[in-house]
Amino acid sequence: MKHPVNWFNSLNYACNGLRLLCSERNFRIHLLAAVSVCILSLCLHLSTLEWAFIASAIVLVLVTESINTCIEYLCDFITADYSFAIKKIKDIAAAAVLLSTVYALTLAFIILLPKILYLTTYNYEF
């Protein structure tokens, strides 16, 4: 029988996972993009609803990148040899990241671009 894991241990495991994710190049790229969008969004004074959409899109991308990384590690653990089935699994996981990123970019353009154009048209300074 497994020993129950207390809340503190679970939090510690999750923090270890975040540290591992932050060592991944693609996750760091997505994180940098997320921070950049948040800074721009702060400057543009988004509404609460706009922030909710932006935050949801950011979380979606980071979660899909996390799952993709996990799938890649698992596939590499299963076999170091080339496998067409493993390639398909990795490609599908990467496609999920691509789809979530395209969604986030589309949402960012819909919300942020009109505000940026408005400010640049009227020579507004941040």
Q: Does residue 79 belong to any structural domain of this protein?
A: yes
Q: Does residue 1 belong to any structural domain of this protein?
A: no
Vertex 56, ends 121 and 70: CA angle to 5°? Answer: 125
Number of domains present in the structure of the chain: 1
Q: Does residue 2 belong to any structural domain of this protein?
A: no
Tell whether 72 is in a known binding site.
Answer: yes
Q: Does residue 126 belong to any structural domain of this protein?
A: no
Q: Which of 65, 93, 107, 111 is catalytic?
A: 65
- The answer to whether 64 and 96 have CB atoms below 8 angstroms apart is yes
Tell whether 90 is in a known binding site.
Answer: yes
pLDDT digits (tens, 9 = 90+) for 4-32: 678 888 999 999 999 999 999 999 999 99
What is residue 107's predicted lDDT score, i.e. its pLDDT?
Answer: 98
Torsion 10-22-96-115 (CA) sign: positive
Annotation says 50 is catalytic? no
Q: Does residue 25 belong to any structural domain of this protein?
A: yes
Q: Does residue 62 belong to any structural domain of this protein?
A: yes
Q: What percent of the chain has a predicted confidence (pLDDT) above 90?
A: 87
Range of the domain at 75: 7-121
User: CATH number for the domain including 75?
Assistant: 1.10.287.3610
**pTM score > 0.95 for this model?**
no
